[in-house]
Amino acid sequence: MEIRPAVVADAESAVALCELVEPYLVSTVGGVRSSISQAGGSLARLSLAAVQDGEVIGWSSAALIAGSDPVSAQLRVLVHPEHRGHGAGTELLEATHAHLKNAGAQSVRVFADPASVKWASRWGYEQTRQVYYAGIEPRLAPAMPEVPSAVRLVPLDEVDPRAVYEADEVAQRTKPGDAKITSRPYEDWLAGVWKAPGMVLDLSVAALHGDQVVGFTLGNGDHHKIWSQMTATMPEYRGRGLAKLVKCAALRRAADAGVVGAYTANYAGNEPMIAVNEWLGYHRTATHSVLVCPL
């Protein structure tokens, strides 16, 4: 078995492995190819492949969490069920840890199947909470609620990205999570979020009050399956149903575009967003443990 940096030609095998092991997450061949290509020699992200007899049997992807202070990272390690127990996961994890330490990360987070918690504890991972995955066929989304007269719902590809950035800065600082987010330079956000491969800005929606983004939902995918990456309402506008409005509008746009599956995740305890997703008709597909490890 060989552990090596991923190459663009690995993308289809990586996505097939992801679909086999965690089908409720959205990985696209185009997105994986772009991620590998853009990583280059950057310390900020890394993809590794475990290869045996020419076949990708394991995969690791990791990235520094933009704007985190102290610097934190997140990773994902997958091994084909038929090749587990032979050291592929261990080698992928240890190689990824070494890279992240060199990149300056002080801790790393992973969402893991509860069956892996004991294994991960060997490296110092401890569970902080749980995360729920959920999915829906967009065509089954409910009818749109009434939109307040002072609010406009607009697809993100028709919104000034600077306005979305300003809203996202607030959202990142106030969202639940294990990493402390401070701020991210606009140009970095523009490249890493707005222009990132696979972002479906036409299927993402903002709630505008005048020119201000007071709520938004942002997704990525390939117009076949999409992932709801971030939904937020500005603190002074919470409790008015804006998250429900933007997510419902986004699902209806997805249905019209032919998307067959929409997926998301919520931390246990984030009851407001869990309630929104349940109202929309999302059904839970898996529960993972959120594990954090000091580096």
How much of the chain exceeds pLDDT 90, in percent?
Answer: 80
Supply 178's token pair: 């294990």
CA–CA gap between residue 165 and residue 82 (Å, rounded):
43
Q: Are 44 and 103 in contact (CB under 8 A)?
A: yes
Angstrom distances, CA of residue 54 to CA of 87, 90, 191:
17, 20, 34
In order of start, what are the domains of the chain with their CATH numbers?
Answer: 2-105 (3.40.630.30), 135-288 (3.40.630.30)
CB 72 within 8 A of CB 259: no
Find all residues with CB under 8 Å of 36, minimum gap 6, and list them: 6, 7, 8, 10, 11, 47
DSSP 8-state code for residue 68: B
50, 82 in Cβ contact below 8 A?
A: no
Give the whole-angstrom CA distance, residue 201 versus residue 257.
13
Q: Give the model confidence (pLDDT) of 91-108 as tens digits.
A: 999 999 999 999 999 999
Q: Distance of CA 180 to CAs 62, 164, 177, 270, 276, Å?
A: 18, 20, 8, 17, 25
Tens-digit pLDDT profile for residues 255-273: 999 999 999 999 998 999 9
pTM for the full predicted model: 0.86
Cα-flanking dihedrals φ and ψ of residue 70, to 5°? -65, 160
Peptide bond into 185 cis (omega under 30): no
Residue 29 to residue 33: CA distance in whole angstroms? 6
What pLDDT shows up at residue 131? Answer: 94
What pLDDT band is residue 179 in, cutting at 50, 70 and 90?
A: low
CA atoms of 150 and 164, how far apart (whole Å): 18
